[in-house]
Structure 1
Amino acid sequence: MKDKWGRTIDYLRLSLTDRCNLRCRYCMPEALASVGHDAVLRYEEMLLICRAALALGIDRFKITGGEPLVRKGAVAFMKALKEMDGVRSVTLTTNGLLLSEALPDLVRMGIDGINISLDSLDERQYASLTGGGELSVVRQALEQAAAQCVNVKVNAILLAETRDQILPLAELARTYPIDVRFIELMPIGFGTTLAGLSEAETLSLLVRAYPDLAATGERRGNGPASYYQSRYLQGRIGFIAANTHAFCASCNRLRLTSTGFLKPCLCYDDGVDLRPLVRSGQGEDAICQALQHAIAQAVHEKPAKHCFGEQDHISEHKTMNQIGG
């Protein structure tokens, strides 16, 4: 479906949980209280929302968290979603710590892609950034996924303190047939407390190592990343630069929090609460009709652009784990 700005909205990022087994500094570094289990949507409620979204032409789904794999039954939910009529793709974003165990089932269900969050290949730095994460576990999962010919992307947040990790991370795309994407730090939640790097700064470092690095114009997923290729790399180098290269004119997404709040834009706290609708006690068809109306309302209210360059105008103050990565 199209919003009032003429953009096609066909992509829903769906958070299964606000809980995580890491404490990344820019996401949830403190012992934040998690929402109660009763507040989190049940899987059948999420599937009802997806059914309503499909009826409106939203057929691409990204499963996020928190860390989605900490929630029991996450893979079974993804399988059920993948099997719904009309679903074009189901992909997963994970920190990788639980991926090795889940990978065989993910491959069997036909997962369309796995994004692994990985900001540093230095063991000490990785542990410091994540609150004690084990890099070797993530590296093993990455290698296993690549060996299974899964569409793997590494997502690395651009932090000033990980500047020396840009080239080592890019080398993953030389070693494996995967894409490595560098993401500008979002000025949301704890992201406002850290210094980031820009796409331009990062690209200047990469071009020195790969002089033939050139933009491809490819679309290699559901989102707005721009990609570069080099004859030295098996995969691509990607950038998601919401701060310096706003892609709002082509934004195609909505975000659903684990508690059922549908957000048209990451920058603002506006949206539509779908939880009362799925728990209204009506029949499934009536609930789906109500959900379709509410989702269409959210699409209609989607703003023309974000305001990340104007900190005083950002109205979203929740942390990224609460919103959905």
Structure 2
Amino acid sequence: MKARTHGALALTELGLGGAQLGNLYRAISDETAAATVAAAWDAGIRYFDTAPHYGVGLAERRLGRALAERPRDDYVLSTKVGRLLVDDPAGAGRRDAEGFDVPASTRRVWDFSRDGVRRSVEESLTRLGLDRIDVAFLHDPEDHWEQALAEGLPALVELREEGVLGAVGAGMNFAAPLTELVREHDVDLVMCAGRHTLLEQADELLDAALAHGVGVVAAGVYNSGLLARPRPAADAHYNYAPAPSELLARVHALADACEAHGVSLPEAALAFPFRHPAVVSVVVGAAAPGQVADAVDRHRRTIPDDLWTDLALARPATEALEGP
């Protein structure tokens, strides 16, 4: 697996996202989680992303165990801050209400304060079983923007200077605040989820990142699953709601262009972000070893140059579809 170097970090072009390791939408066993990480490792993936939010700590614990026997200097790991995990005895007997199939006996509390961020990093280190984290992102700070910039980001920079963190940034579903961040603040990497894809582009963000020496990790490249199949289902969702008919028509036009070149829509969707030099890695989720193999096979696919021209013609200029 090729890697792209950014500063002192070398991120493999594909990274494994950890949401499914936290039982996103459905439970998987500890054994399946470990086998999924092992499959990624065996395929050459050396970048792993997680967050306390994913399964209220479950994803971090599983990932930490799965990587415990791997040489620490051989991989890059990112996690996130902004949600502290607290015990909630009142949730006993209920399931988590934020999309993860885990007990609701732990809940999330938003906190981008200096103390909250430092506590979050300390607790992540414990769950991961590590003494340092390669990358820490402010996680979905858009509704807490003032505190995140005034307290959260400086706290991350302090931890970077102390050697606890290797790099800092933010991960969001919104391109505009990320663009502000890379232009005006001391960040190393940003994670842009769902906003730079075949359907919608975040060129202003990526151009600004390139100009300011900030790397971009692309996530959500399948746009909530719309681009994850050769053809979208009639009841496909986009941004947590049924996809409108005009959007489905756009996806079918993209699929037509791909098929004319003997390429599947998911293969093109995975390859597209790498066309911009600011992108250092694309993170994909997986809930089983076979899903890792599928992503790696897609990544190895050679995409004809002419396809990108045809896709641009099949993708009419529209306003960005920002945010979930």
The TM-score, its normalising length taken from structure 1, stands at 0.46
User: Which is helix-richer, 1 or 2?
Assistant: 2
Q: Greater RCO between the two (CA within 8 Å, min separation 6)?
A: 1
